[in-house]
Structure 1
Amino acid sequence: MNVEKILAIAGKPGLFELKLQTRSGFLAESLLDGKKITVGMRSNVSLLSEISMYTYSEEKPLVEIMRAIAVKENEGPTISSKEDNAKLTAYFKEILPDYDEDRVYVSDIKKVLNWYNILQAKGLVSKEEPKVANAEAVKEEVVEKVKKEAKADKAEKAEKAEKAPAKTKTKK
């Protein structure tokens, strides 16, 4: 399952794919309708590969939960997130038996199932083991891009400062 460039943006429905990093944020494409949006740095954005859910023993990465759903459903769609709460919690208990019922709310379960169905419709779910090394490579790539942009910004500012006419102080 390759979700390293899949984003959840607070206040926006569905999931988005990271397309391009810009100086002021990034460009993302909706997995629901294919529309492209620009997202500023102030927006609350989460990478799906960085999200975890609470269990009684540890935090379980969302990628592993999605893989467990894919195994159970044979990579097909799961139940609708609009089912009643009892049915959703019973289903999730089958997927992740030791999830922390006090800290994982029904709204969280609905979101996970909805996200799974979006990813499944786009063919982005699989029963294969997640590739952690690939996630680290993507993370390093993004960090390098940000560093390069910062250097370019500094160089551009220094160049503008050199080209600007020198101001002289005059005494009155």
Structure 2
Amino acid sequence: MSLEKILSIGGKPGLYQLKTQTRTGFLAESLLDGKKISVNARHNVSLLSEIAIYTLTEEVPLGDVFQKISEKEDGKKTISHKVPKIELEEFFFEVLPEYDEERVYASDIKKIVQWYNLLTEKGITDFSNAPSDASEEE
């Protein structure tokens, strides 16, 4: 499964997997506890495939950041999101040295680390953003 079907829902902990569309929104299943919830237009929902991280030169898709973390950690879980702020920033600097320190906050890094660990724990390691598109090599 790619990041196309993984959601972050404002005000709800963890991540959710998109299950099906309903008349008023859609049904999502929590990756934390497996509970299903109905999500409608009032919820602030973000697809992980649509999130990007600011760098000094461009915006890097979250999937690419997850891939870099995965390569650094050999596909295993990484540091805890509960470590001190300075450790999070040092870790993130190793993963993405060109990240914009003025626009990427410690709380953002904490969330990225937490999401990466949750996805890895659930066996979701396909961090591509668009599996149907041809990948562009730089």
TM-score of the pair, normalised by structure 2: 0.92
Q: Structure 1, unaligned stretches of length 5 or more?
A: 137-172
Question: What is the total number of aligned residue pairs between the two structures?
Answer: 134
**2:24 partner letter:** S
For residues 89-146 of structure 1, what are the alpha-carbon distances to aligned partners after superposition, in whole Å with 9 as ceiling and x for unaligned? Answer: 00000000000000000000000000000000011115xx72635269xxxxxxxxxx
Q: Which residue is equivalent to 1:134?
A: 132
Q: CA 1:130 to 1:56, structure 2 compared with 1: closer, same or farther past 3 Å?
A: same
Mapped contact 2:2–2:130 kept (Cα < 8 A) = no
Question: Cα RMSD over matched residues?
Answer: 1.6
Q: Which residue is equivalent to 2:18?
A: 18
d(CA) in 1 for partners of 2:123, 2:116: 10
If you compute each CA radius of gyration, which structure gives the higher value, 1 or 2?
1
How far off is 1:17 after superposition?
0.1
d(CA) in 1 for partners of 2:100, 2:129: 26
Q: Percentage identity across aligned positions? A: 55
**1:104 partner letter:** V
Q: CA 1:47 to 1:92, structure 2 compared with 1: closer, same or farther past 3 Å?
A: same
Mapped contact 2:63–2:129 kept (Cα < 8 A) = no
Q: CA 1:33 to 1:79, structure 2 compared with 1: closer, same or farther past 3 Å?
A: same
Mapped contact 2:2–2:131 kept (Cα < 8 A) = no
Mapped contact 1:14–1:30 kept (Cα < 8 A) = yes
Q: Which one has the bigger strand percentage?
A: 2
**2:130 partner letter:** V
d(CA) in 1 for partners of 2:16, 2:129: 20
The yes-or-no answer on 1:124 pairing with 2:115 is no
Query: Residue 93 of structure 2: SS of its match in structure 1?
Result: helix
TM-score of the pair, normalised by structure 1: 0.74
Larger RCO (CA within 8 A; separation ≥ 6)? 2
d(CA) in 2 for partners of 1:70, 1:89: 17
How far off is 1:18 after superposition?
0.2
Q: Which residue is equivalent to 1:112?
A: 112
Q: Structure 2, unaligned stretches of length 5 or more?
A: none
Q: Which residue is equivalent to 1:47?
A: 47
